Amino acid sequence: MKNLIQKYNIPGPRYTSYPTVPYWDKDGIAIDDWKHSTLKAFEESNDSEGISLYIHLPFCESLCTFCACHKRITKRHTVEEPYMDTVLKEWNLYCDLLVKQPKIKEIHLGGGTPTFFSSENLKKLINGIFKRAEKFKEFEFSYEGHPNHTTKEQLQTLYDLGARRNSFGIQDYDPVVQKAINRIQSFEQVKKVNDWSREIGYNSISHDLIFGLPFQTEKSIRSTIKNTIALKPDRIAYYSYAHVPWIKGVGQRGFDDNDLPKDDEKRHLYELGKQLFFENGYVEIGMDHFALKTDTLI
Ligand code: SF4
């Protein structure tokens, strides 16, 4: 078992790109091929099941040193408007290409930090998308929020625009781990955004945790999971930390390889997390994902 864990304890393709990076064609894709595959996918699904949009909102106010996502760090909120205008310009290019009005089944806002953007700009984005599209009958809208940068007004605005699910990046509550990953956020702050979401009426709140971060121990993971369960999120994502310090721009050099839990220790943190979720009323619904047994959306 130990040999197997060591053998497969290597970075894999990241889920954030499709196709995943090893399958990218280094010569790029010709514009006509791109148009052809977009149209084909659209025609196959628009009427029968609707289409889904993922919109990347890449700005964050500070850099978490574990993060390998595509993001830009800035506190200048003047970037918001030109970014939204550019996304809507791109959406119009798609709409010009498509032969019929798109029927949108799902929208997901990811990042970066979607809640970096003001309520006004989030409204502009979603209303702009629906100027040239209609909602499919079972419409779903979800987004990611940063507990330190999400206001009640943003939660309400997104709810009014149709969002019923959100997910918050928690990662770890331990102060030593939080300092190493430069992601300082208190339990009280997380509780606040969690409670507001409930009050407003969101029917699925998810918390993202990461195992394998620097300085994590069995004790710190137990305490993080205890705090998480106290807030009863409908879903918990329990991701493995991917250490990819060679990727340009990834701020992961603030800690050393020696500060990370070793392969079998990391495996133990994963098994422990799973066991604690099961003991507290969660079931596994997919790789790294758990849901409360009472979750009506399972
Ligand atoms: S983890 Fe999230 S908030 Fe932190 S830098 Fe990455 S995208 Fe931004």
- Is the per-residue pLDDT at 256 higher than 90? no
Quick one: which atom of ligand 1 is closest to the CA of 66?
1
Mean pLDDT, residues 270-276 taken together: 97
CA of 73 to the centre of ligand 1 (A): 9
Per-residue pLDDT band for 244 (boundaries 50, 70, 90) equals: confident
Per-residue pLDDT band for 255 (boundaries 50, 70, 90) equals: confident
Domain that holds residue 221: 2-292
Of the candidates 220, 121, 117, 124, the residue with the CA atom closest to the CA atom of residue 172: 220
Query: What is the separation of C-alpha 187 from the centre of its chain, rounded to a whole number of angstroms?
Result: 19
CA of 83 to the centre of ligand 1 (A): 18
Question: Lowest mean pLDDT: which of 189-198, 256-265, 268-277?
Answer: 256-265
Does 254 map to a domain?
A: yes
CA distances from 75 to 126, 162, 167, 191, 221 (A): 23, 28, 22, 24, 31
- Is the per-residue pLDDT at 54 higher than 80? yes
Does 297 map to a domain?
A: no
Of the candidates 241, 220, 236, 219, the residue with the CA atom closest to the CA atom of residue 280: 236
What is the spatial distance between Cα 269 and Cα 8, in angstroms, rounded to a whole number?
Answer: 16
What is the spatial distance between Cα 192 and Cα 173, in angstroms, rounded to a whole number?
Answer: 15
Q: How many domains does the chain have?
A: 1
Q: Who lines ligand 1 at CB under 6 A?
A: 60, 63-64, 67, 69, 71, 111-113, 146, 169
Per-residue pLDDT band for 294 (boundaries 50, 70, 90) equals: confident
Q: At what angle do helices 187-200 and 152-160 cross, to 10 degrees?
A: 30
pTM of the model: 0.90
Residue 55: partners with Cβ closer than 8 Å, 6 or more residues away: 87, 107, 108, 109, 110, 125
What pLDDT, in 10s, does the model give residues 181-201? 999 999 999 999 999 999 999
- Is the per-residue pLDDT at 23 higher than 90? no
What is the spatial distance between Cα 167 and Cα 110, in angstroms, rounded to a whole number?
Answer: 10
Q: Is 182 helix (H, G, I), strand (E, B) or coil?
A: coil
Q: Which residue has the higher pLDDT, 166 or 287?
A: 166
Does 298 map to a domain?
A: no
Q: Phi then psi for 112, rounded to 5 degrees?
A: 50, -160
pLDDT at 6: 67
Does 69 map to a domain?
A: yes
Per-residue pLDDT band for 31 (boundaries 50, 70, 90) equals: confident
- Is residue 155 a contact partner of residue 176, using CB atoms and an 8 Å limit? no
What is the spatial distance between Cα 279 and Cα 262, in angstroms, rounded to a whole number?
Answer: 26
What pLDDT, in 10s, does the model give residues 56-112? 999 999 999 888 888 999 999 999 999 999 999 999 999 999 989 999 999 999 999
What pLDDT, in 10s, does the model give residues 107-148? 999 999 999 999 999 999 999 999 999 999 999 999 999 999
CATH number at residue 201: 3.80.30.20
Mutate-to-test residue for ligand 1 from 146, 171, 189, 209, highest number of ligand atoms within 8 A of CB: 146
Residue 10: exposure state from Cβ atoms within 10 A (0-12, 13-18, ≥19): exposed
- Is the per-residue pLDDT at 247 higher than 80? no
Q: Which residue has the higher pLDDT, 10 or 258?
A: 258
Per-residue pLDDT band for 252 (boundaries 50, 70, 90) equals: low
pLDDT at 240: 92
H helix or E strand, kind and range, residue 265? helix 263-279
State the sign of the Cα–Cα–Cα–Cα dihedral 260, 74, 58, 233. Answer: positive
Does 38 map to a domain?
A: yes
